[in-house]
């Protein structure tokens, strides 16, 4: 979610809550002989902080039931961002800015990791969609990348076969069933050898199983390869070479999309499980604190 | 003066009747003179000059047109004559795509055979620079202008042998070529596909379009037998011989299914004997959305509902279901009977639409099953068209008129009056039926196929609506200022019933209720068009037109700068519709927005009618990925055990319903990133465009609005 002007009310409310919390804390910290979760104010900070944490965690459950009419999911998301941001200062106020020992210490470190991953995620969600939009104009549905890749291989195979294949072929028009005779480029087979050589040994392995270390994975080096190939071929094949070059470009974009998609979503693998672990430990901490 | 003359050909004295050409005199005496442009059954024209001979004159003469003179000494095979002939062949070969289609198919291209015999292997002359192209518009004959040597044999075959007068010469010099009618594509011309031109052509310029691997099940017929049938009167026997595998006779036992609804086929059927039942087996119902439970947990459930139980506001009051046959099926009881002399499956055959109904033999039936090349010839055959039209006027015109709500009250006597006065016309894909700005002289009812209605504007063409069978057009021009307000173009093979302007005026003057109904529809259409166009004033119309967004009334836009591709919207849509999503996160792009779904209304509404057979064609062809198939379990009679029902799955098409049961569509409601928006496109993009313009000009006025 992009954090923009539409978040103003949430930002103002969060800032107000933080200011009130800090305003209450200063005389308390100065005047009280003991600060921490055991005091009344400390307990209050803890309760509010935990409440925020609980609400923030519920976003995952909210997403599991998208059609429940319990508030728009984007409202939950805004709450997740701002109340989540507030929860750490409140918990720090609750703990008197001490990480403590044992379970409390684990909790604090875990909270720090979850918080950091959350900030990282918010930043990624703020910036990465724009980068995908800019850098991957041929973006497809992520789950369809494998399918699109297979189509690109087919298309490239066909292009090379057409450019260096038979002279005249019967082409059935799409779905008509009636035959039409189409004349394909007349090119001597040996003239097309450099094209086939390049395709079979360099391009096809890249399109089939792309790797970042492949020379065609780099835009500049790929352009160089195609520039070297062109003079070896008759002008009539240059259009086919241009098509192959654009297939390579699309393949690079698919690689880029897969990488960016991974980055955009990988942080959740840290953030979500640790959040649930944090909640579990926090509940254990509450039970322990209430009991002892 | 004697009627016989004597001359010498290659040293032999020959006597022939006066007026005989050198070519004929030589042929009668067993001396072969090669030729390309001349055939015995055609008037000689001497355009190819390959038959040149030495008659002792200053220049060589074309044997096919030069008449014999008494005492003439003709030399047909001297070295200079052969050299001149070979030069001509070499010149013709220079422009000839060797091997041409005919040479590839049967190895009997006359030019290439002649070149081979003359030892002309490779032409020394340069090819023409400007290509003459191909014409594949005819379903039965392929035209390759590149292979044409302008011998005019096809022209004489069409004019002199068949008297059709369709082919002629067009262009001059290098651009000279054969043309059909006023240089139209062959498929759009008045060509009746008799095949005479193809038979006459010496090269691969006019070749038969054979259907690849077509082996229809049934009895292959002898062309002689086929020609005995009245409906095949006038069809070329050679053509039937060449397309033997495209036409078969089938005998079908009573009760056997001939074709099933939803199936894809490529054939049409003509009933020779017996009768068939035409019906729709899929439940006549549509997908209805309703709340499964109330409150904040509410979920939409889909179920099938028929019209009696649930009427949608946007649907028409149609009482008949249009199908691919000369009859419409009554909505309440979708069953009809066809008999001998009737044709069904035309749209499937010509436009590859799925079968729109199931056809079952009622009695033992004999049918001719044919592929589109044969059907095309039949449809162009005057005898067959006249017979079909007669049957249509007798049987289907009244049903057709009554199926249109505004004409449902037309008295029988006026239907009888119209029966022989209406004109039944056919249009090929892309052909303009009426053009904006022309004088309005007729009213049209769509009988078969689809028509696009569009308006011309400075930004481009705006599509106003698409009309299918049972729809009509032309009333606005006739009721208004007498000028066509829009252009109507055939999208596929379209048949229309054309009612002349004076008959239309008589009808509206005699029946005020029909006039009122037509005027109401005309007013509504005009208002819709006006609103649509008025709201485009501040919108980048070209971009809209390019993406086809003009027709949308509600778009689901994904702001790709905010969207994290989490697919929460897709999941929500699936959850809201029994696990079947109606939203695919891919589609057209407009600026930073992805158009993920479209909802149309009014004239552009996509209504899934109750008689949807779940063929899936709309789903596959929807450019917005906006239509889906929804599976349902239904009970059908068990074919093995009578009186028992078994469960089976049938599908019905569904489109985005905006989650009408809720205040906000589920996809928008579930988006956590504020990226999904439902917008009214013209207002939204209009504002966006105005904002951009404001920024560009430094004005703040637009942004503050």
Query: DSSP string of A11-31?
Result: HHHHHHHHHHHHHHHHHHHHH
Confidence of residue B300 (pLDDT cuts 50, 70, 90): low
CB contact under 8 A, B211 and A76: no
Which pLDDT belongs to residue A98? 85
The contacts of residue B350 (CB under 8 Å, 6+ apart) are B139, B268, B372, B375, B376, B492, B493
Q: pLDDT by residue (tens digit) across B187-208?
A: 888 888 878 888 889 999 998 8
CB contact under 8 A, B672 and A74: yes
Asked if the model's pLDDT at residue A1 lies above 80, the reply is yes
Dist CA A111 CA B113 (whole Å): 89
Are B384 and B237 contacting, i.e. CB atoms less than 8 angstroms apart?
A: no
The sign of the torsion formed by the CA atoms of B114, B118, B119, B123 equals: negative
Q: Which of A69, A76, A183 sits opposite B298 (nearest CB)?
A: A69
The contacts of residue B184 (CB under 8 Å, 6+ apart) are none
Pick the CATH number of B4-118 from 2.70.70.10, 3.10.20.740, 3.40.50.300, 3.90.180.10: 3.10.20.740
Does residue B625 or residue B656 have the better pLDDT?
B656
Return the percentage of chain A with pLDDT > 90, whole number: 57
Confidence of residue B546 (pLDDT cuts 50, 70, 90): low
Q: Which of B99, B105, B576 sits opposite A67 (nearest CB)?
A: B576
CB contact under 8 A, A74 and B673: yes
Q: Cα-flanking dihedrals φ and ψ of residue B171, to 5°?
A: 80, 175
Q: pLDDT by residue (tens digit) across A85-101?
A: 999 999 999 988 888 88
Please list every residue in chain B whose beta carbon sits closer than 8 Å to the beta carbon of residue A136.
none
Asked if the model's pLDDT at residue A11 lies above 90, the reply is yes
Which pLDDT belongs to residue B63? 93
CB contact under 8 A, B561 and A77: no
Which pLDDT belongs to residue B534? 63
Instruction: Show the CA angle centred on residue A257, arms to residues A255 and A262, nearest 5°.
Output: 100
Mean of the pLDDT values across residues A53-71? 89
Q: How far is B548 from chain A (nearest CA, A)?
A: 20
Q: pLDDT by residue (tens digit) across B438-474?
A: 998 899 998 888 888 888 876 667 777 778 777 889 8
CB contact under 8 A, A168 and B585: no
Can you give the three-state secondary structure of B120-168, one letter per residue? CCCCCCCCCCCCCCEECCCCCEEEEHHHCCCCCHHHHHHHHHCCCCCEE
Q: Which of B101, B560, B673 sits opposite A1 (nearest CB)?
A: B673
Asked if the model's pLDDT at residue B217 lies above 70, the reply is yes
Interface of A with B (CB under 8 A): 1-2, 6, 59, 63, 65-70, 72-74, 76-77, 125, 128-130, 132-133, 140-142, 144, 168, 170, 172-173, 175-181, 183, 261, 264-265
CB contact under 8 A, B372 and A176: yes
Per domain, the residue ranges of chain B are 4-118, 399-534, 541-704
Nearest to B249 by CA among B227, B271, B274: B271
Q: How far is A10 from chain B (nearest CA, A)?
A: 15
* Backbone conformation region of residue A181, classed left if phi is above 0, alpha if psi is from -120 to 50, else beta: beta
Q: Which residues pair with B8 in a beta bridge?
A: B13, B73
Which pLDDT belongs to residue B542? 56
Are B214 and A177 contacting, i.e. CB atoms less than 8 angstroms apart?
A: yes
Does residue B258 or residue B701 have the better pLDDT?
B258
- Host H or E run for residue B369: strand B365-370
Q: How far is A132 from chain B (nearest CA, A)?
A: 8
Dist CA B380 CA B199 (whole Å): 18
Which of A154-158, B311-315, B459-463 shows the lowest mean pLDDT across its residues? B311-315
Asked if the model's pLDDT at residue A170 lies above 50, the reply is no
Q: pLDDT by residue (tens digit) across B148-166?
A: 999 999 999 999 888 889 9
Mean of the pLDDT values across residues B689-699? 48
DSSP B280-329: --S-S-EEEEEESS-STT--EEEEEE-TTT---TT-----EEE-SSSSEE
Which pLDDT belongs to residue A175? 37
Are B595 and B589 contacting, i.e. CB atoms less than 8 angstroms apart?
A: yes
Top mean pLDDT of B275-279, B353-357, B390-394 is at B275-279
Which pLDDT belongs to residue A16? 96
Please list every residue in chain B whose beta carbon sits closer than 8 Å to the beta carbon of residue A181.
101, 104-105, 142, 144, 207
Asked if the model's pLDDT at residue B573 lies above 90, the reply is no
B140 to chain A: closest CA residue: A178
Which pLDDT belongs to residue A14? 95
Q: pLDDT by residue (tens digit) across B110-162?
A: 999 999 888 887 767 877 777 788 888 887 888 999 899 999 999 999 998 88
CB contact under 8 A, A132 and B211: no
The contacts of residue B501 (CB under 8 Å, 6+ apart) are B440, B441, B442, B443, B478
Can you give the three-state secondary structure of B577-610, one letter per residue? CCCCCCCCCCCEEECCEEEEEEECCHHHCCCCCC
- Mean pLDDT, chain B, integer: 81
CB contact under 8 A, A67 and B298: yes
Q: How far is A229 from chain B (nearest CA, A)?
A: 29
Asked if the model's pLDDT at residue A187 lies above 50, the reply is no
Q: Which residues pair with B587 in a beta bridge?
A: none
Dist CA B238 CA B206 (whole Å): 14
- Mean pLDDT, chain A, integer: 86
Asked if the model's pLDDT at residue B702 lies above 60, the reply is no
Pick the CATH number of B399-534 from 3.40.50.150, 2.60.120.10, 3.60.21.10, 3.30.420.310: 2.60.120.10
Q: How far is A219 from chain B (nearest CA, A)?
A: 25
Which pLDDT belongs to residue B418? 87
Asked if the model's pLDDT at residue B549 lies above 90, the reply is no
CB contact under 8 A, A178 and B212: yes
Can you state the angle between helices A8-31 and A40-64, rounded to 10 degrees? Answer: 150
- Host H or E run for residue B514: helix B512-534
Count of CB pairs separated by less than 8 Å, A with B: 118
CB contact under 8 A, B672 and A6: no
Confidence of residue B508 (pLDDT cuts 50, 70, 90): confident
Confidence of residue B214 (pLDDT cuts 50, 70, 90): low
Instruction: Show the CA angle centred on residue B298, arms to residues B294 and B304, nearest 5°.
Output: 90
What tokens does B494 get? 């379209």
B577 to chain A: closest CA residue: A67
Are B89 and B151 contacting, i.e. CB atoms less than 8 angstroms apart?
A: no
Confidence of residue B687 (pLDDT cuts 50, 70, 90): low
Dist CA B221 CA B226 (whole Å): 7
Which pLDDT belongs to residue B606? 62
Are A77 and A59 contacting, i.e. CB atoms less than 8 angstroms apart?
A: yes
- Host H or E run for residue B438: none
CB contact under 8 A, A74 and B674: yes
Please list every residue in chain B whose beta carbon sits closer than 8 Å to the beta carbon of residue A132.
560, 565
Q: Which residues pair with B434 in a beta bridge?
A: B488
């Amino acid at each position: 979610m992009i954090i923009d002007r539409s978040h103003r009310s949430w930002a103002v409310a969060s800032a107000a809550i933080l200011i009130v919390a800090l305003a209450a804390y200063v005389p308390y910290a100065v005047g009280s002989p003991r600060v921490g979760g055991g005091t009344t104010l400390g307990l209050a900070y803890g309760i509010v902080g935990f409440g925020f944490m609980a609400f923030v965690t519920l976003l995952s459950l909210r997403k599991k039931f998208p059609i429940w009419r319990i508030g728009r999911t984007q409202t939950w998301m805004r709450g997740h961002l701002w109340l989540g941001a507030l929860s750490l200062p409140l918990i720090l106020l609750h703990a008197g800015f001490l990480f403590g020992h044992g379970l409390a210490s684990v909790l604090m470190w875990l909270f720090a990791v979850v918080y950091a991953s959350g900030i990282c995620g918010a930043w990624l969600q703020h910036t990465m969609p724009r980068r995908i939009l800019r850098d991957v104009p041929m973006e497809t549905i992520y789950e369809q990348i494998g399918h699109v890749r297979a189509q690109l291989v087919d298309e490239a195979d066909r292009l090379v076969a057409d450019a260096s294949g038979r002279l005249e072929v019967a082409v059935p028009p799409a779905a008509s069933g009636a035959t039409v005779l189409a004349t394909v480029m007349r090119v001597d087979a040996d003239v097309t050898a450099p094209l086939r050589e390049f395709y079979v040994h360099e391009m096809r392995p890249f399109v089939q199983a792309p790797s970042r270390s492949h020379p065609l994975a780099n835009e500049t080096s790929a352009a160089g390869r195609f520039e070297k190939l062109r003079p070896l071929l008759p002008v009539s094949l240059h259009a086919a070479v241009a098509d192959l070059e654009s297939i390579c470009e699309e393949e690079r974009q698919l690689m880029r999309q897969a990488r960016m998609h991974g980055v955009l979503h990988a942080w959740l693998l840290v953030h979500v499980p640790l959040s649930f672990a944090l909640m579990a430990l926090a509940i254990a901490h509450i039970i322990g604190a209430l009991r002892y | 003066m004697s009627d016989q003359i004597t001359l010498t050909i290659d040293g032999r004295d020959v006597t022939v009747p006066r007026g005989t050409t050198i070519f004929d005199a030589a042929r009668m005496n067993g001396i072969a003179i090669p030729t390309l442009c001349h055939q015995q059954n055609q008037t000689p024209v001497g355009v190819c000059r390959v038959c040149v001979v030495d008659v002792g004159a200053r220049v060589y003469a074309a044997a096919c047109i030069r008449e014999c003179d008494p005492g003439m000494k003709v030399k047909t095979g001297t070295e200079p004559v052969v050299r001149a002939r070979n030069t001509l062949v070499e010149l013709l070969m220079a422009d000839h795509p060797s091997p041409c289609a005919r040479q590839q198919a049967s190895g009997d291209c006359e030019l290439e055979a002649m070149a081979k015999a003359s030892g002309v292997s490779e032409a020394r002359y340069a090819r023409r620079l400007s290509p003459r192209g191909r014409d594949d518009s005819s379903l039965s004959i392929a035209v390759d202008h590149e292979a044409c040597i302008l011998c005019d044999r096809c022209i004489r075959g069409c004019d002199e042998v068949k008297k059709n007068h369709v082919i002629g010469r067009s262009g001059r010099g290098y651009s000279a070529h054969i043309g059909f009618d006023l240089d139209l594509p062959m498929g759009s011309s008045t060509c009746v596909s008799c095949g005479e031109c193809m038979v006459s052509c010496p090269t691969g310029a006019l070749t038969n379009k054979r259907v690849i691997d077509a082996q229809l099940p049934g009895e292959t017929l002898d062309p002689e037998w086929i020609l005995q049938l009245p409906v095949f009167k006038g069809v070329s026997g050679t053509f039937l011989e060449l397309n033997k595998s495209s036409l078969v006779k089938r005998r079908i036992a009573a009760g056997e299914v001939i074709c099933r609804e939803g199936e894809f086929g490529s054939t049409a059927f003509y009933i020779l004997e017996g009768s068939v039942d035409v019906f729709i087996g899929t439940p006549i119902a549509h997908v209805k959305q309703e709340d499964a439970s109330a409150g904040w947990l509410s979920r939409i459930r889909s179920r099938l509902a028929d019209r009696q139980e649930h009427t949608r506001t946007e649907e028409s009051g149609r009482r008949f279901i249009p199908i691919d046959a000369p009859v419409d099926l009554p909505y309440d009881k979708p069953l009809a009977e066809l008999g001998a002399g009737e044709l069904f499956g035309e749209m499937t055959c010509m436009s590859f639409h799925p079968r729109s109904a199931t056809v079952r033999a009622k009695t033992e039936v004999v049918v001719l099953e044919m592929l589109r090349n044969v059907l095309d010839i039949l449809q162009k055959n005057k005898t067959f068209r006249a017979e079909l039209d007669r049957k249509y006027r007798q049987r289907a015109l009244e049903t057709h008129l009554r199926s249109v709500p505004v004409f449902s009250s037309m008295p029988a006597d006026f239907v009888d009056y119209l029966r022989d006065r209406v004109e039944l016309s056919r249009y090929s894909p892309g052909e303009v039926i009426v053009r904006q700005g022309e004088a309005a002289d007729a009213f049209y009812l769509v009988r078969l196929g689809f028509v696009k209605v569009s308006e011309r504007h400075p930004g481009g063409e705006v599509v106003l609506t698409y009309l299918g069978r049972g729809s009509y057009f032309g009333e606005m021009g006739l009721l208004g200022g007498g000028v066509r307000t829009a252009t109507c173009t055939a999208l596929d093979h379209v048949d229309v019933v054309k009612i002349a302007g004076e008959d239309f005026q008589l009808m509206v003057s005699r029946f005020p209720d029909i006039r009122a109904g037509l005027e109401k529809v005309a007013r509504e259409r005009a208002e819709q068009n006006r609103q649509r166009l008025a709201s485009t004033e501040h919108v980048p119309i070209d971009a809209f037109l390019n993406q086809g967004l003009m027709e949308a009334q509600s778009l689901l836009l994904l702001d790709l700068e905010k969207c994290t591709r989490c697919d929460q919207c897709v999941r929500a849509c699936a959850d809201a519709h029994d696990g079947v999503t109606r939203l695919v996160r891919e589609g057209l792009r407009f600026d930073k927005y992805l158009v993920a779904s479209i909802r149309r209304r009014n004239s552009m509404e996509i209504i899934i009618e109750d008689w949807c057979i779940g063929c899936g064609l709309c789903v596959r062809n929807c450019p917005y990925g906006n239509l889906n198939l929804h599976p349902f379990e239904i009970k059908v009679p068990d074919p093995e055990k009578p009186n028992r029902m078994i469960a089976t799955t049938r599908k019905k098409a569904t489109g985005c319903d905006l989650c009408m049961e809720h205040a906000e569509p589920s996809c928008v409601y579930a988006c956590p990133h504020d990226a999904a928006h439902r917008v009214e496109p013209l207002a939204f993009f209009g504002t966006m465009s105005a904002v951009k313009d404001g920024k560009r000009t430094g004005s703040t006025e637009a942004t503050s609005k």
